[in-house]
Amino acid sequence: MTMRAGTYNVRAKGHDSSYMPMKVTLSEDKIKNIKIDSSGETKGVADEVFKRLPKEIIGGQTLNVDAVSGATISSHGVVDGIAEAITQAGGNADEWKKRSKPVKRNGQNKEYSTDVVVVGAGGAGLTAAARLIQNNKKVIVLEKYPQIGGNTTRAGGPMNAAEPDWQKQFKALPGEKQSLKKLAVTPIEHIDPEYRADFKKLQEQIQKYLASGENYLFDSTLLHEIQTYLGGKRIDLNSNEIHGNYSLVNELVNNVLDSVKWLTDLGVKFDRSQVTMPVGALWRRGHKPVEPMGYAFIHVLGDWVKAHGATILTDTRAEHFLFKNGKIAGIIAKNSAGSKVIVHANNVIMTSGGFGANTPMVKKYNTYWKHIDDDIATTNSPAITGDGIRLGQEAGADLVGMGFIQLMPVSDPKTGEIFTGIQTPPENFIMVNQKGKRFVNEFAERDTLAKAAIANGGLFYLIADDKMKDTAYNTSQAAIDAQVKAGTLFKADTLADLAKQIHMDPGTLITTIKKYNSYVDAGKDPDFGKSAFNLKCEQGPFYATPRKPAIHHTMGGLKINTNAQVIAKNGKVIPSLYAAGEVAGGIHAGNRLGGNSLADIFTFGRIAADSICKKDASADVTSGASQN
């Protein structure tokens, strides 16, 4: 069936439920050109789709192409958009979808030798690679998915690091001093012994600040340490208590500001005009990049390591360790063509993430949540399936904290996405249940929010007004309008009309918001004790964003020490094996603070690389001494 030649304007459904404009140029019997405007898409999540699929479709003259791993929605969106163009041109789109797939030739097995092989090209892996290159090490990075980024690409962007001299320029929010006062009078007996000396010093810092009468945003590395510890101290369903390993937490908070400075030197630009925080962070110490979300880190790190000589092998899954004389000597992997890839290396760094996209594995280990549904959504990249945990066990690694799973309370009910709708900093959160009533301190930890949401039926709404909307992360008016049109975000000129749209009693929602606004004025929440406030909700239009908890972060993983070395079940270091990021456990314990994940991956990614370099330098000195 011939087509009417021309260029057709169509739309492709994107990863974040928006639609991307496409121009498809057709001749009478061929697809000649495909141009996709992906500017509205979350950068770094589906970039490979827009590079790969047009080439495959044009090259094979077929719509029967495989979805790009990790970007199924965007892949189908591109194919469906082109099919629409063919239909408009009078062609038979179904026939194009039934054509033969592009021929993929099997490649030959490949073998490499390097100083270090890094497994996983997310934030931790790229950080380790960059740091190793800075120390003149040869690096190969293996990434099982078609593009780099992992979960870091999907991160919100704010990275926790106490920087008091910078934070002093910002005023304290109502409620923040009250939180400090509670810490200042907390009995030392409530604190685990290893943290008590630091807690006592923190109380002295807080008392000095409160006595000064100043009204700036207080912070310190000790406050970051204690909040990380208290925020992660939990008891599971079997009455097992867990809290963060003191040495690891201390290492994190005392080195993370250096991570910010190191990233800045590499080219990441931070917005120094604001200090912010993601949900469940407990404190405003977030260093937020100028560019949107985690892409700000990934593209800088990715470009840097490629420009400085690292080899990044995408579509290459690490399957087993390579052993020599009983010790780890590299990785055996397989690429998407089915060919074996062998990497000989003196050291291996595991940075493959957790297992949040592997629901059966989550259910297997979970000891924290009473029930996890088989069809629960996840915020994770589909790549995050626990490969590094399995590999670590192959080498005899010990595991820690595996039963503790973090749910992200403010996730899209259908997709698990975090940044659909109006997602503001928590000081501007107003959470209402399906009856239109508040039900929790919106400034609390993530597990507290998720448990409260589940107790209220799971589904709830974030209510915002026009001013609050302007504080939302990575939200353009075009994206908002598209979601309103799609029915995934609700908008109305009045609270009464908004309530009707989401099947609430208007009087109940109006009363809830009126009370909340009075609490903002008073700086105190007598209902739920919200810990910090900013804006009132009073200027239309008003918005309601549907939210529901989804699997977000797996707290447990490979046991490591402060050198990021992996520890075996016998308590000894596994030679040549290191781990950083979500694949490792022990830092965040039962619940991770928002903003601590980025702090973790960039800090321990650097530590893993530095540990290898120090070990090699020490070995060189020893070797030189023995030769003399």
Whether residue 181 is contained in a domain is answered as no
CB 445 within 8 A of CB 533: no
Cα–Cα distance, 490 to 347 (Å, whole number):
52
Mean pLDDT across 425-451: 97
Cα–Cα distance, 204 to 167 (Å, whole number):
19
Catalytic machinery residues: 446
466, with CB counted inside 10 A (0-12, 13-18, 19+), is middle
With pLDDT > 90 as the criterion, what percentage of the chain qualifies?
83
Mean pLDDT across 118-138: 98
Whether residue 483 is contained in a domain is answered as yes
The residue with tokens 């509205």 is: 40
Q: Is the pLDDT of residue 625 over 60?
A: no
> How high is the pLDDT of residue 439?
98
Whether residue 341 is contained in a domain is answered as no
Cα–Cα distance, 377 to 364 (Å, whole number):
17
> How high is the pLDDT of residue 482?
83
The one-letter code for the residue type at 426 is P
Mean pLDDT across 164-175: 96
Q: Is the pLDDT of residue 219 over 80?
A: yes
Whether residue 604 is contained in a domain is answered as yes
Bridge partner residues of 286 (DSSP): 160, 276
pLDDT, tens digit, 9 for 90 and up, residues 457-478: 999 999 999 999 999 976 678 8
- CA distances from residue 24 to 7, 11, 58, 82, 504 in whole angstroms, order as listed: 5, 10, 11, 7, 44
Instruction: Answer yes or no: do 536 and 564 share one domain.
Output: no
Cα–Cα distance, 463 to 498 (Å, whole number):
10
Structure tokens at 92: 């038979």
Cα–Cα distance, 555 to 562 (Å, whole number):
17
277, with CB counted inside 10 A (0-12, 13-18, 19+), is buried
Whether residue 161 is contained in a domain is answered as yes
Instruction: Answer yes or no: do 357 and 244 share one domain.
Output: yes
Instruction: Answer yes or no: do 246 and 393 share one domain.
Output: yes
CA 361 distance to own-chain centroid: 19
Whether residue 481 is contained in a domain is answered as yes
Domain count across the chain: 3
Strand 139-142 versus strand 311-313 pairing type? parallel
CB 531 within 8 A of CB 524: no
Per-residue confidence band for 20, with pLDDT thresholds at 50, 70 and 90: confident
Per-residue confidence band for 507, with pLDDT thresholds at 50, 70 and 90: very high
Per-residue confidence band for 627, with pLDDT thresholds at 50, 70 and 90: low
Instruction: Write the CATH number for 439.
Output: 3.90.700.10
Q: What three-state secondary structure class fits 268?
A: coil
Q: What three-state secondary structure class fits 245?
A: coil
Per-residue confidence band for 309, with pLDDT thresholds at 50, 70 and 90: very high
Instruction: Write the CATH number for 43.
Output: 3.90.1010.20
Q: Is the pLDDT of residue 51 over 90?
A: no
Instruction: Write the CATH number for 612.
Output: 3.50.50.60
Instruction: Answer yes or no: do 533 and 574 share one domain.
Output: no
Per-residue confidence band for 624, with pLDDT thresholds at 50, 70 and 90: low
> How high is the pLDDT of residue 104?
73
Write down which residue in 517, 535, 551 finishes a domain.
551
Instruction: Answer yes or no: do 421 and 527 share one domain.
Output: yes
* Strand arrangement, sheet containing 19-26: 6-13, 19-26, 31-36
Strand 573-579 versus strand 340-350 pairing type? parallel
Residue 311 CB: number of other CB atoms within 10 A? 16
The one-letter code for the residue type at 532 is A
Write down which residue in 520, 551, 582 finishes a domain.
551
CB 62 within 8 A of CB 53: no
pLDDT, tens digit, 9 for 90 and up, residues 350-407: 999 999 999 999 999 999 999 999 999 999 998 999 999 999 999 999 999 999 999 9
Cα–Cα distance, 399 to 369 (Å, whole number):
19
Per-residue confidence band for 76, with pLDDT thresholds at 50, 70 and 90: confident
Instruction: Answer yes or no: do 512 and 365 share one domain.
Output: no
CB 347 within 8 A of CB 612: yes
Closest by Cα among 447, 154, 473 to 280: 447
Whether residue 67 is contained in a domain is answered as yes
Whether residue 197 is contained in a domain is answered as no
Cα–Cα distance, 297 to 601 (Å, whole number):
11
Q: What three-state secondary structure class fits 250?
A: helix
579, with CB counted inside 10 A (0-12, 13-18, 19+), is buried
Q: Supply the range of the domain harboring residue 534.
A: 409-551
Instruction: Answer yes or no: do 156 and 61 share one domain.
Output: no
> How high is the pLDDT of residue 203?
98
Instruction: Answer yes or no: do 491 and 563 share one domain.
Output: no
Q: Is the pLDDT of residue 413 over 90?
A: yes
Per-residue confidence band for 68, with pLDDT thresholds at 50, 70 and 90: confident
Instruction: Answer yes or no: do 358 and 231 share one domain.
Output: yes
Structure tokens at 21: 């404009």
Write down which residue in 495, 528, 551 finishes a domain.
551
Closest by Cα among 287, 277, 347, 302 to 616: 347
Q: Packing angle between helix 246-266 and helix 193-212, nearest 10 degrees?
A: 60
> How high is the pLDDT of residue 121?
97
Q: Which pTM does this prediction carry?
A: 0.90
Instruction: Give the single-character DSSP code of 330.
Output: E
Instruction: Answer yes or no: do 610 and 463 share one domain.
Output: no
Instruction: Answer yes or no: do 233 and 358 share one domain.
Output: yes
Q: Is the pLDDT of residue 434 over 60?
A: yes
With pLDDT > 70 as the criterion, what percentage of the chain qualifies?
96
Instruction: Answer yes or no: do 428 and 534 share one domain.
Output: yes
